[in-house]
Chain A
């Protein structure tokens, strides 16, 4: 979230799309209710189903699963056509005025530079025109045909209300009603927030779904505003924190881009990631990359990381390709992996195409499951009849199951979706012999380290030299690790005049103190300052809220720098006055930025200096045109890989652009995409209010509340297929089938799309063969093994099935 949970109460319009906050983030949804009841805000829900969020909405518009870009692109077109923009914001804070390479183009669903064989783009033309001064060229009048604003207008002109309705199935009047409500928020004193979740990410065009919305928020001037922003409602309690720590092949903690085979030396690696400003006077915060990275390497390798050895650069592994979860299971399926750890992760249930995942796990030599609960994955080898029909004798994987502690059985910190890090304390021991995750990892590491010390083996150096300063090496405390993550001075730090500003060994106050000379250590630069000399700031519990905006700056610690709303400089006009004085977050006092948040700006940057509010971008402004995206700098509607239409209505004669032309599809999976003639119904998977993922099926209370797997269909489809309420039905995709109880409801709309009727089958995901709930099939038996082109998040939200009475 760019903003945070409580801030939702400051919105005038709440759009819930690509998510279902009332069902999946219920306690956060209370702030939607607060906005409605106190501010008299309106709530709009756009969803393939009439959800619990829709139940309390002022307006609900149905949409076909997987067509959000078409809908949102239509909104952009509406705003442009009707001149409902916050012009001053767009001009000053976005790259609308930037000039693009004249060779850039878009035709028949493809941007320039497409390579059909590689299913990827050469992005050479997706770039700014550069001036001789080394900065990007701009046209503040927005008239140049190659400026972003003009290119954008042209690109989105195709998305008129009729085209949108034809693709999405949203009735035209409903679409226009939503447009009108959104357009009202182009006024500087009206703000919309958007709450989305996996309903946008879990598509082969997931990242572009979100980007399209970000563009709308920029055109309306809502980024950086209290009550505004673009708010990803994340999944698990600490999914934000874990993401920040970056257990990803491509990133080191704090989202530092990890080295690849293209980065031959430490210098080349650092240089490629240290950006230069694209416009004069910009903060260009990524220019600080060396400070963050060197501080990380000093944290991990201490004295063994020196300037001479490139801060132990060689010890960082350089991957030979992708290792996202789909890629990993593909490799495993090919027999290219031997060992696998599942730490609180149940991939058999939560990864797409259960059949493939199960077959892949069976090819491992060893599998280690660390979990508080008996997961389905830990028993993938066990026969549970129709629900998990395998033969244990044929499966040679050695499986270890290690009992871990739950949240209340150890201390540590969680980072919520609003980036607020909060400490939690231990209430009791776990049952039996359970142990904490810290100890489990430490035990494995120290035993391996001892083996390497004694026996040698492949490259022991990084294993032997890893810093391990914990007082009990096999039981590091959360407090020790939290200090390490935040960071400290390794030597006395002095200012330009030679005065000591931080003493050696002291905790750092924030990332501004990090240096690239090896004198500082921080395990995660964005968490720097969360544990300062003042103590563990994540444990702070002062909930006072003097601004009334819900900022509670002394509760826990928000990264970065305890800032609660990022891009908050954009809540003020270029002269430094709040766009909406009644909702003032910051203002320029004449000498500094101050107010009700930690400024996302150099504190003394006077408005006249023209420092842009989007400090992480070398441009200083936000990108309406974003060349970083894999499948195009502007969003384009592509059908899901399993589409009921068999063509892209925007490009009916171009089969190569039916679905995302730059999405990665593995051999064997492409063939497993179902076709509409055999699988005529659009399926979408989701969570229910009563359950959390695959955990609460182990909890009696939640099993009572929603005891058995079901699917939801419309009354019309039920009548057509002779299915009655409560009947057991069989749902089949091209990858497998499940059985579940039918819930026949008015809440599943039947849509008219591209001249035909489209039915939706809704499939909750929470069931499996291990649990207190009734035994059930795993929903991901059905889902396709293809991910978003940018993030590789699987397309769980739109695929094809058939359904019949079992």
Chain B
């Protein structure tokens, strides 16, 4: 049995209470988008530290490479060119897991211990427990987790939990050459952000602000935005992220109902899982759901 390096706050699909006596400092990564030049040092450091190398892709007419997050791309610079008051702005946002205080992925995850939230705020995926169902993808309001085509498990940024556990900053934050990524206690990060926002306001960005969305209980990856009034300017950063209503519904109402109906469905599913593996279960469910969706579209017409 491995030692536990960090205190656990929550585990997926487990009802055992987490220990609550020790106080753990909450950590956060602060991404100052106004200071980011999109150099991708964070992407390089992430690949290098975590021993992941995506395929060498193509240029498709933009600077974003790879073009999307995947099992081997846990963070990604997304580039947007906008014109604000006749002035060109190149908005560059580092995308990746936000480490929500109220993580939709964890809530949606059906596999015990596949998703762990540590008391310091890190939300970590434990692939050895992942069944590859993809519900974390559905549960995530930021569209971050990806299911690997190699091993059918979910992957995303771990906030370098292995580094943080020994007192170091995540690889991306350490590497960041412009200081656009800072890492520390969440409280300190908020203070630092305040100073940055004062500076940005002095430079004419009247709507500069901190992105720490309360719809997900706040996040342990926060952004300083020059246009905090319009997060969606930054390559579709959600203006008001919420845990998917489906997940909330499931946790709030549907779960007790489902527990009652446990017998047939669950045993059936389990049998299916044991005999055929998770992917095929998902596939069949997905097919069924796609049919439903098609019908809904018809209804809408």
Contacts and interface: CB of A to CB of B under 8 A. Distances in A.
**Is any CB of A less than 8 Å from a CB of B in the complex?**
yes
Contacts of A411: none
Contacts of A727: 61
Contacts of A446: none
Given A52-B39, A743-B63, A772-B56, A37 B88 contact: no
B41 A26 contact: yes
B61 A55 contact: no
A690 interface: yes
B236 interface: no
A689 B176 CA distance: 13
B6 interface: no
Contact of A55 (B37, B48, B59, B65): B37
A724 B60 CA distance: 10
Nearest to B72: A704
Contacts of A251: none
B39 A23 contact: yes
Interface string A21-54: 0110011011001101100100000000010111
A746 B81 contact: yes
Interface stretch (A559-567, A609-617, A705-713, A752-760): A705-713
B179 A707 contact: no
A745 B88 CA distance: 11
B177 A29 contact: yes
Nearest to B34: A56
A257 B65 CA distance: 48
Interface string A463-491: 00000000000000000000000000000
A272 interface: no
B96 to A, nearest CB: 15
B291 interface: no
Interface in B35-71: 35-41, 43-44, 47-48, 53-63, 65-66
Contact of B59 (A23, A36, A700, A709): A709
B39 A22 contact: yes
B53 A30 contact: no
A741 B59 contact: yes
A22 B37 contact: yes
Interface in A739-775: 741-747, 772-774
Given A29-B178, A52-B38, A55-B92, A747 B81 contact: yes
A55 B77 CA distance: 14
A312 B96 CA distance: 66
A703 interface: yes
Contact of B58 (A23, A707, A746, A772): A707
Contacts of A704: 43, 47, 53-57, 65-66
Contact of A745 (B40, B65, B81): B81
B178 to A, nearest CB: 5
A773 B55 CA distance: 11
Contact of B43 (A705, A710, A724): A705
B90 interface: yes
A585 B143 CA distance: 52
Residue from the set A27, A709, A772 with the largest chain B CB neighbour count within 10 Å: A27
A179 B53 CA distance: 47
Interface stretch (B128-136, B195-203, B208-216, B252-260): B195-203
B83 interface: yes
A112 interface: no
Interface string A668-696: 00000000000000000000011000000
Contacts of A725: 60-62
A40 B61 contact: no
Given A741-B60, A741-B61, A26 B39 contact: yes
A271 interface: no
A26 B90 CA distance: 17
Nearest to B192: A37
B100 to A, nearest CB: 27
A725 B38 CA distance: 20
Contact of A690 (B40, B61, B90, B180): B40
A730 to B, nearest CB: 16
Contacts, number: 123
Residue from the set B36, B39, B92 with the largest chain A CB neighbour count within 10 Å: B39
Contact of A707 (B34, B40, B56, B89): B56
Nearest to A58: B203
A701 interface: yes
Nearest to B55: A704
Residue from the set B44, B59, B83, B196 with the largest chain A CB neighbour count within 10 Å: B59
Interface residues of B, number: 40
A40 B199 contact: yes
A700 B56 contact: yes
Interface in B124-178: 177-178
Nearest to A688: B63
Contact of A773 (B56, B62, B63, B195): B56
Contacts of A22: 37, 39, 178
A702 interface: yes
A30 B56 contact: no
A726 interface: yes
A741 B47 CA distance: 25
A701 B53 contact: yes
Residue from the set A26, A55, A747, A773 with the largest chain B CB neighbour count within 10 Å: A55
A27 B48 CA distance: 18
Nearest to A700: B53
Contacts of B92: 55
A27 B58 contact: no
Contacts of A746: 81, 83, 88
A708 B177 contact: no
A724 B199 CA distance: 39
Contacts of A745: 81
A773 B57 CA distance: 9
A744 B63 CA distance: 11
A37 B40 contact: no
Contact of B177 (A26, A40, A726): A26
Contacts of B41: 26
Interface string A135-176: 000000000000000000000000000000000000000000
A52 B89 CA distance: 11
A747 B88 contact: yes
Contacts of A690: 39-40, 65
B199 A37 contact: yes
B85 to A, nearest CB: 14
Given A30-B178, A705-B44, A689 B39 contact: yes
Contacts of A772: 56
Interface in A266-297: none
A701 B48 CA distance: 8
A296 to B, nearest CB: 38
A609 B175 CA distance: 50
Nearest to B83: A746
Contacts of A33: 35, 178-180
A36 B61 CA distance: 32
Interface string A721-738: 000111100000000000
A767 to B, nearest CB: 10
B6 to A, nearest CB: 28
Contacts of B177: 26-27, 29-30
B71 to A, nearest CB: 14
A566 B196 CA distance: 33
Given A34-B179, A54-B90, A745-B81, A29 B37 contact: yes
Contact of B37 (A26, A36, A708): A26
Contacts of B38: 52, 55, 689
Nearest to B175: A27
A60 B86 CA distance: 12
12 contacts: A26-B178, A52-B39, A52-B90, A55-B90, A56-B36, A689-B37, A690-B39, A704-B43, A742-B61, A746-B83, A747-B90, A772-B56
List the 4 closest A-B pairs by CB distance, nearest first: A726-B61, A725-B61, A708-B59, A689-B39
Given A55-B89, A689-B40, A704-B53, 12 more contacts: A26-B178, A30-B177, A33-B179, A52-B90, A689-B37, A703-B56, A705-B40, A707-B65, A724-B61, A726-B60, A745-B81, A746-B88
